[in-house]
Structure 1
Amino acid sequence: MPVFGKCKMKRTAIFSPTWDSLGGGERYASAVARLLLDSDYSVDIWWPKNISQSIKARFAIDISQANFVPFPSNYQLITMNYELVFWVTDGSLPVSLAKKTLIHYQIPFKNPGFLNKIKAHFYPSVCNSFYTKEVIDKTYGINSQVVYPPVDVNSFLPQTKTNTIVSIARFSTLLHAKRQDTLIDAFSRLSKELSGWELVLAGGSTDPRYVSLLKKQVKNLPVKIITNPPLHKIRQLLAQAKIFWSATGFGINTALHPEKAEHFGITVVEAMSAGTVPIVTNAGGHRETVIASQNGFLWTTLDELIDCTIKLARDPKLLQSLSKSAKDRSKLFSTAVFNRELTQLL
């Protein structure tokens, strides 16, 4: 009988221009890499150094089996060697000769340039939310698909809840600023109404000046600021808090600046998974994860944020009901759902 060799593994290349930032796009790309590795693909990450340990520490996604290789100078021809190229775009698009090239839009760009608009029609595209899709489709003249980012709902579980409001967001004033200053302002106005409650602001930071300004704003309020917390600390904060706040997109005209609202909001879903009720801005991807008065609240003005928070804090039955609904809804954004829907695109 003839002896057949092993089937040749399918090769894929994954590109992101900002792997070193380890933001939402890199989290999405890491999840794609993990899915492909589990599907017996050989995965090349186009990045000059192996950052798999940093990815695991940040996202709890193990892609150590992937190959980290520098971006090829003649990448256009190199793509011919790949079954799949997964490209996280910063607005610019590649010239790819791979069997299949899938473009991921993480940010709702409005001014990509004429040539990129032409290229967009040659490749299938996937967005991280319908909010992003609406802008991308109009900008590029395409019909993209939506696959929500995956959330490891089994790792964000509720613990004994304390009288804590938490916000998990990068301390930054760039792109879509998270507006922790607004949250401190709101808490200063309601703290007398909610004796015994505290606000915890946590997130990555590369802007010590902004953090310093926030600390000065806090004064004597029961507010904690935690910079660059490890993943286990984030899980603990979400597990123990009763309420989750976000002010991303506050005061922004999203018709003019769609990129400044939350494009999806992974931490909102992580909070929901931990049974922490979200009270978040009525903008961007928040509208897709939070259904007002069912699993949280959406706010437009500071008065609405304050009123919703006081209402929830003073009504244990309502808090318990919304907490359960939030946890149930978070399952719609699980890793299992992501893997199933992305596999259909591949």
Structure 2
Amino acid sequence: MTLTFIIFSLITSLILRFSFTLINRRRNRTTAVAFFHPYTNDGGGGERVLWCAVRAIQDESPDLDCLVYTGDHDATPQSLLARAIDRFGVTLLSPPKVVHLYKRKWIEETTYPHFTMIGQSLGSVYLAWEALCKFTPFYYFDTSGYAFTYPLARLFGCKVICYTHYPTISSDMISRVRQRSLMYNNDALVAKSVWLSRCKIVYYTFFSCLYGMAGSCAHLAMVNSSWTKSHIEKLWGVPDRIKRVYPPCDTSGLQVLPLERSAEIPTIISVAQFRPEKAHSLQLEAFSAAFKRLDSTLPKPKLQFVGSCRNKSDEERLEMLKRKALELNVNEQVEFHKNITYRELVRLLGGAVAGIHSMTDEHFGISVVEYMAAGAIPIAHNSAGPKMDIVLAEDGEQTGFLAWNIDEYADAISRIIRMPEKERLLMASAARKRARRFSEQRFYDDFKAALRPILCHVSK
């Protein structure tokens, strides 16, 4: 009896505390836009969207303060302002305010060796609780894909806006488990077992239902591609609140680069964070295969990996790639550039004849557009964003190559290296023209148009 009373008292106390916190924070909301972006140093396309979104809101509604929730404890308003310029060429009108988060470990993939998706999703709710208790904005803007935080943000009285780069779960993922395909998110132990595969299908199906309910709490969901839009509409069930807004690609700065490239050492560039889904190993193996096929009379190509590391796991993957280059005996032809500045990235893109991308079901593929704008012929994975939106013919001219496996990638690399200069320039020119469809200006225009109905009451 005493134990029951204690448990009841504890539960009642927690409920009362939760309710009191919500009521208090709802009353003290600040007319501001707070961006939930726990990793402000990831250096990828998601961070570019963050800074362009901040700039767009500063343009559209100068009276609104912009704030960033970040788990990077060294981040300051001035350092983020400088980072936006140095890494992405985005000039903010004023420094964003910063709220530091100290529970970011709960969204780290290493925290959850098993049931990673549900673990990270629930962990994001805990992290969002910390964020919203510290600062409760009128507009909660998620730019990192943590849909499970949306119901909580609504409980705090926020208008929930998101820019979704890709669905956390998709029918494609469930299909791969059903087919028992081996991938970064479906390890060999599960893929080889019928029983474990069936259990995982149940888990994924259950998770997709929860994900759909959480996502449907968004007042406005912007998505980055046709592929993402089709999946999010199906999962969240609120098509009228979902708008496709292509991500900002720095096509203007890259368009001015000369299309002519050095013929002495053909350079192939790979721009991507060192994350498992980016499939850098496939690129190395394809490069090695292509290298072995080349005649001795042809110039020897070089492969440049350019990317950032978010955490220790990414650092370990980078070191693994270096070891793999040694094993494949192409280490002298491979370079690694980590956490470089935007200016240095532009320089490297300007020297590449081709850009390689190998992520399966890449939601969009900003790096592919950047290759095209810079005059580097893209070799992209034959799926999702690159296939549906980007590497398409322009005025009847081919703009690049789509590949599925090591052989197809190696063939594409070989074809570009052997390609006559006139043919390469024609394809590079068509690719550059295609890239103009995904400019930063188009992002700003579409982003503001989608946002205006939500921000309509804010004075300009």
Q: What TM bracket, shorter-length normalisation?
A: 0.7 to 0.9
- Is 1:131–1:284's contact at 8 Å kept on the other side of the alignment? yes
> How do 1:131-280 and structure 2 match up within 5 A?
131-143=227-239, 144-156=242-254, 157-159=256-258, 160-163=260-263, 164-170=266-272, 172=274, 174-178=276-280, 179-192=282-295, 195-204=298-307, 205=309, 206-207=315-316, 208-219=318-329, 223-228=333-338, 229-249=340-360, 261-280=361-380
User: Separation in 2 of the partners of 1:305 and 1:174?
Assistant: 18
**Can you list the C-alpha shifts for 1:307-339, whole angstroms capped at 9, x where unaligned?**
444444323332121111111111111110000
Instruction: Name the CA distance, whole Å, in 2 between partners of 1:131 and 1:194.
Output: 42
Unaligned runs of at least 5 residues, structure 1? 1-8, 250-260
The structure whose residues are more often helix, as a share, is 2
Counting only pairs closer than 5 Å after superposition, residues 53-202 of structure 1 correspond to structure 2 as 53-63=82-92, 65-70=95-100, 73=130, 75=132, 79=136, 81-82=137-138, 84-88=139-143, 89-94=145-150, 95-96=153-154, 100-110=159-169, 111=204, 112=207, 114-123=209-218, 124-143=220-239, 144-156=242-254, 157-159=256-258, 160-163=260-263, 164-170=266-272, 172=274, 174-178=276-280, 179-192=282-295, 195-202=298-305
- CA drift of 1:300 comes to 2.3
Deviations 1:87-107, CA, capped at 9 Å, x for gaps: 122342322355632122122
Paired with 2:236 and 2:423, the residues of 1 have a C-alpha distance of 43
Query: Residues 230 and 183 (structure 1 numbering): CA distance in 2 closer, same or farther, change over 3 Å?
Result: farther
Q: Kindly provide the CA deviation profile for residues 235-256 of structure 1, in whole angstroms up to 9, marking residues without a partner as x.
A: 112112222222222xxxxxxx
Whether 2:142 is the aligned partner of 1:38: answer no
> 2:59 & 2:368 partners in 1: Cα distance?
27
Q: Name the SS for the 2:276 alignment partner.
A: coil
- Change in 2 beyond 3 A, CA 1:38/1:315: same
Describe the shift of the 1:282–1:127 C-alpha distance in structure 2 as closer, same or farther (beyond 3 A): same
> Equivalents in 2 of 1:116, 1:221: separation in Å?
43
My pick for the range that moved more, 132-141 or 305-314, is: 305-314
Alignment RMSD (CA, Å):
2.8
Larger Rg over CA atoms: 2
Q: 1:319 to 1:241 in 2, by over 3 A?
A: same
**Residue 443 of structure 2 is aligned to residue 338 of structure 1:** yes
Report % sequence identity: 21
Residue 127 of structure 1, CA deviation:
1.3
Change (3 A) 1:277 1:175: closer
TM-score (norm 1): 0.83
Cα drift, residue 77 of structure 1: 9.8
Relative distance call for 1:130 and 1:234 in structure 2 (3 A) is same
Q: TM-score with structure 2 length normalisation? A: 0.64
**Does 2:394 match 1:294?**
no
Match of 2:423 among 314, 318, 327: 318
Deviation of the 1:116 alpha carbon: 4.2
| Equivalenced residues, count | 325
Q: Residues 214 and 344 of structure 1: is their aligned pair in 2 closer, same or farther, counting only changes over 3 Å?
A: same
- The answer to whether the 8 A contact 2:288-2:330 is kept is no
* Aligned amino acid, residue 33 of structure 2: T
Distance of 2:429 and 2:341 partners within structure 1:
26
